[in-house]
Structure 1
Amino acid sequence: MTMDGAVVVPGISQGAQWVDEVLLAGPANDICFRLTQPADGTSVPIDRAKLRRLVRDRQSELAEAGLRPGGAAALRLPPSMAFVTHLLAVWRSGGQAILLDHRLTEYEVRRAIERLVPQVVVEPERPIPAGLRTFFEVDTAVASYSGHPAGTTHAVVQLSSGSTGPSKVIGRTAEDLVEEVLRYTRIDGVPLRGERLILLPSMVHVLGLVGGLLYGLHAGVELVPPARLTGDAIVQAIASGRTPATVLGVPFHIGLLASVQRPPNLPQFKRMTTGGELVPASVSQSFEIKYGVPLANMYGMTEVGVIGTDLAGVHRPAIRPAPGIEVREVDGELHVRRPESPYLGLSDPARWSDGWLHTRDAGAVDPTTGLVTIRGRLDSQVSVGGLKVDLTEVEYTLGTLRGVEAAVVVFDGSITAYVQLRERRDRDHLEADLAQRLAAYKRPRTLHILDQLPRTTTGKLVRDLTVLRKAAP
């Protein structure tokens, strides 16, 4: 560590040093995880001493399977202690962790492994049982794959969610991860030492990985995955302790909490923080009324992690850039300072150039306050009869209609809407309600009502035309 306390991480080769100093340091009896057994509801605490011991054991297993410093291990595991301990063990060994969502198809996994060539592949020993779970008990199978070192010096390699098209392969260094963890410590409103974080997002993806797992371990925050992925189970997790609790999730999880008919008094509920898609004002207002806590917003990308936050819920729909993050607006698109390309292989200048990541998000930066307003995807701007239409506005307005659970609006030769309902409504009535709120040129030419809108593995609504067309009745 430097004289000012900052952690210096030159690369993955010194994995044990940065993992021990940034993630595993602290009193041995600190509770890192509190796991609830679905069968009987009993609580199982995992303290820091046990976590260190489990990580060392995994490290030995990976070494026996062929993982060497500078090598790579592909982890195809669901959220679990097996995932956590294997991930930390890979990093502590000076290796690169390739994170593959356990819900990917065999074809997707095979393509990723053939391209990235890990030395070791870690998978569940048996198929993962179906069910609404946030955390699993997993026995693992560790298989040797190749003898080649990792192709890059990145500590973690992730696949983007692919909500608007094919996934991208993204790499982040150990130094980059540490910088983001320390960035969280400088954001007002994040959970503090001794508090709890009700962890809902998958740790394979950036919000759950850095904003949940890594920050929680570093800051001494107790991580509490609910027993099941239901509104009642989330409420039970909040109520299971007396210390302040923050719920971390995505808009999908707001719906789960909103489904609880009569939530109990929860004085320990501090706030809910969501990442991913923009949350309509009507949803945030109804949530805040029901639970009496702020619905905080976090904006980020797999490529850079957290970009900005509004944890007090006072700037909606704007956010304030996170400490050390520089955001600019160029021709209506938000760019984020990123010295090197985060993409493995050749870098597309339309995505990264001259030290700036092109987010593909439409937005504006207030020159006086520095607040960033996000207006949705840049490709949501279309021309209809020479008139500009923002598909995000159409989608937002659809979401305000009675009975609408979720909506996706795309341009498929004309404006087309795909809608999921929470209660039965006639299409003609929906269109009549929309006609009262939107000008004719903005309204969808075609409106499809689906039982379930397609979503990515992270819960984001899919906007890929091919997938939507196949899902339509």
Structure 2
Amino acid sequence: MTTGLAATGGAVAGPEWVDEVLLRGADGDVCLHAGGPVDRRALRSMVAERQERLTAAGLRPGGSLALRLPPSLAYVANLLAGWRAGAQVVLLDHRLTPYEVDLALERLAPQVVVAPGRVRSNPLRAFAEVEETVAPHPGRPAATPHAVIQLSSGSTGPSKVIGRTAADLVAEIDRYTRIDGVPLPGERIVVLASMVHVLGLVGALLYGLHAGVQVRPPERLTGDSVLEAVAAEATPATVLGVPFHIGLLASVVDPPALPQLKRMTTGGELVPAATAAAFTGKYRVPLGNMWGMTEVGVIATDLFGEHRPALTPAPGLEVVERGGELLVSRPESPYVGLADPTRWADGWLHTRDAGAVDPSTGLVTVKGRLDSQISVGGLKVDLTEVEATLGGLPGVVAAVVLHDEVVTAYAELAEPATAATVEAGLTERLAAYKRPRRLHVLPAMPRTTTGKLVRDPTVLRRAAREGK
């Protein structure tokens, strides 16, 4: 892929990469669909207008901008405008509380903040209608050459500050172009994953803009609306989301025949085999799987569902197993303000995921978090196995198993499942030493803003108390 991107020399990259990698294309080519088609000419005009507003608010090359808009045309235009202005863009999820936003702004100190003004859509809308506000903020210029700053999902504890340069983003876009099974030019991505986070940001928005793949959110985040978006045009469509979204499609009774539906691809948590089989049986298309991290983007894929649960490393990345942990090649640390050799050292990113690499095929199998291996009475227990068994029981909607003094399970159930039926199922399927000593049934499992199940024991304990 020819990008024309030169080394930034310690400064945030300028407009060239935005123009050449993301905005290039024929004026009339439809690149987005949000309440109607948006062609490249219209998108370039929106970006130019937002860039003028940001400049008027004091944003300069090498400056810093915080963006806390919901997924929307305003979000896309301001993101590209900030990069085109040569600024570092901090992405804050719009679902954060005011308290969390204030902490993030104090921690990251941007010079300009773009926030929601008037929002003219309901919470179920996948792409909001937003009139944004742009305001100076008492911050500082970018201290690093990163084009984007993101906060980790916080599913296992406090968020980490993660930075990625323009060159790093372009390298990930290039990886996508070389993965077998990604949407092709002229096709569509029906995106359910949030564009504030790495899967939706790079896997849908940036890759789609570069490759000439139309990015089309559904009108609403419901199963019926997703299928309506697939059916809206004759071109092939890939649905991109997280495992939570499989439930949306599984909830549709007697879905129509959809020759346009090419596949669904999920990132995030591992998809249980039973869930994958139920989806493919209903829709008769591949359920692809991706493994990635905010720190590096897409790492490995199995977009045809051929090797489940194993995956093929993405082109240009090397994955190795050391001491039971999966490590990914990355030339520099992605962490801002954090020097921790247990997370990154000597060109290797520690994923903190347990796994294995097949020496003959190179296929990678992710076995869950590294801290899922515990000892109970001298016997090894893999909490990932316990969680997968619990999650596979009839009526278990979602589950988390962790070691909190003892093996403890949290589960969200659907009728007619009860705590008693779940415990009976576990007794049948697991040896006594593996079974949870505590089972908490919650009305709804806590999730991060990206839809991942929260694994922080403090949050889960609080949810259990409040659910009683």
In the superposition, the TM-score normalised over structure 1's length comes to: 0.96
Equivalent residue letter for 1:16: P
2:353 maps to what in 1? 361
1:113 maps to what in 2? 105
Equivalent residue letter for 1:293: V
Match of residue 274, structure 2, among 282, 301, 313: 282
Residue 346 of structure 1, CA deviation: 2.7
Match of residue 262, structure 1, among 249, 254, 264: 254
2:2 maps to what in 1? 5
1:65-80 to 2 correspondence within 5 Å?
65-80=57-72
1:61 maps to what in 2? 53
Check if 1:232 corresponds to 2:224: yes
Residue 390 of structure 1, CA deviation: 0.7
Residue 126 of structure 1, CA deviation: 3.5
- Note if contact 2:119-2:129 (Cα within 8 Å) is conserved in structure 1: no
Equivalent residue letter for 1:25: R
1:20 maps to what in 2? 19
Check if 1:351 corresponds to 2:348: no
- Note if contact 1:404-1:423 (Cα within 8 Å) is conserved in structure 2: no
Q: In the aligned structure 1, how far is the partner of 2:6 from the partner of 2:435?
A: 52
Equivalent residue letter for 1:88: L
Match of residue 331, structure 2, among 333, 339, 345: 339
Residue 423 of structure 1, CA deviation: 1.8
- Per-residue CA deviation, residues 330-359 of structure 1 (Å, 9 max, x unaligned), is 100000111111000132111111111100
1:102 maps to what in 2? 94
- Note if contact 1:68-1:94 (Cα within 8 Å) is conserved in structure 2: yes
- Note if contact 2:398-2:412 (Cα within 8 Å) is conserved in structure 1: yes
- Per-residue CA deviation, residues 130-166 of structure 1 (Å, 9 max, x unaligned), is 5212110000110101363111110000000000001
1:270-419 to 2 correspondence within 5 Å?
270-419=262-411
Pair 13,171 (structure 1): closer, same or farther in 2 beyond 3 Å: closer
Q: Structure 1 stretch 294-303 or stretch 14-23: which is displaced more?
A: 14-23
Query: Structure 2 unaligned runs (5+)?
Result: none
Pair 390,147 (structure 1): closer, same or farther in 2 beyond 3 Å: closer
Equivalent residue letter for 2:373: Q
Q: In the aligned structure 2, how far is the partner of 1:263 from the partner of 1:374?
A: 32
Check if 1:163 corresponds to 2:167: no
Q: In the aligned structure 1, how far is the partner of 2:5 from the partner of 2:54?
A: 26
Q: In the aligned structure 1, how far is the partner of 2:198 from the partner of 2:188?
A: 19
Match of residue 73, structure 2, among 81, 88, 98: 81
Check if 1:442 corresponds to 2:441: no
Residue 236 of structure 1, CA deviation: 0.5
Residue 34 of structure 1, CA deviation: 1.4
Residue 129 of structure 1, CA deviation: 5.9
Residue 76 of structure 1, CA deviation: 0.6
Equivalent residue letter for 2:383: L
1:156-195 to 2 correspondence within 5 Å?
156-195=148-187
1:91 maps to what in 2? 83
Q: In the aligned structure 1, how far is the partner of 2:145 from the partner of 2:309?
A: 37
Check if 1:459 corresponds to 2:448: no
Give the 3-state SS of the residue equivalent to 1:359 in structure 2.
Answer: strand
Q: In the aligned structure 2, how far is the partner of 1:29 from the partner of 1:59?
A: 22
Pair 128,45 (structure 1): closer, same or farther in 2 beyond 3 Å: closer
Pair 451,128 (structure 1): closer, same or farther in 2 beyond 3 Å: farther
Q: Which runs of 4+ in 1 moved over 4 A?
A: 127-130
Q: In the aligned structure 2, how far is the partner of 1:6 from the partner of 1:322?
A: 19
Equivalent residue letter for 2:406: S
Check if 1:48 corresponds to 2:47: no
Q: In the aligned structure 1, how far is the partner of 2:338 from the partner of 2:259?
A: 51
Match of residue 246, structure 1, among 238, 241, 245: 238
Q: In the aligned structure 2, how far is the partner of 1:382 from the partner of 1:226?
A: 42
Give the 3-state SS of the residue equivalent to 2:374 in structure 1.
Answer: strand
Give the aligned length: 463
Q: Structure 1 stretch 129-138 or stretch 179-188: which is displaced more?
A: 129-138
- Per-residue CA deviation, residues 173-213 of structure 1 (Å, 9 max, x unaligned), is 00000010011000000001100100111111000000010
Equivalent residue letter for 1:302: T
Q: In the aligned structure 2, how far is the partner of 1:266 from the partner of 1:165?
A: 41
Match of residue 199, structure 2, among 198, 207, 222: 207
Pair 437,254 (structure 1): closer, same or farther in 2 beyond 3 Å: same
- Note if contact 1:381-1:389 (Cα within 8 Å) is conserved in structure 2: yes
Give the 3-state SS of the residue equivalent to 2:416 in structure 1.
Answer: coil
- Note if contact 2:13-2:145 (Cα within 8 Å) is conserved in structure 1: no
Pair 112,128 (structure 1): closer, same or farther in 2 beyond 3 Å: farther
Give the 3-state SS of the residue equivalent to 1:461 in structure 2.
Answer: coil
1:152 maps to what in 2? 144
Q: In the aligned structure 2, how far is the partner of 1:17 from the partner of 1:393?
A: 48
Residue 101 of structure 1, CA deviation: 0.2
Residue 128 of structure 1, CA deviation: 7.5
Equivalent residue letter for 2:37: P
Q: Structure 1 stretch 291-300 or stretch 100-109: which is displaced more?
A: 100-109
- Per-residue CA deviation, residues 299-348 of structure 1 (Å, 9 max, x unaligned), is 00000000000001011111000000011101000001111110001321
Give the 3-state SS of the residue equivalent to 2:225 in structure 1.
Answer: helix
- Per-residue CA deviation, residues 29-69 of structure 1 (Å, 9 max, x unaligned), is 10011123xxxxxxx11000000000000000000000000
1:122 maps to what in 2? 114
Q: In the aligned structure 2, how far is the partner of 1:137 from the partner of 1:156?
A: 24
Pair 408,211 (structure 1): closer, same or farther in 2 beyond 3 Å: same
Provide the identity percentage. 67
Give the 3-state SS of the residue equivalent to 2:118 in structure 1.
Answer: coil
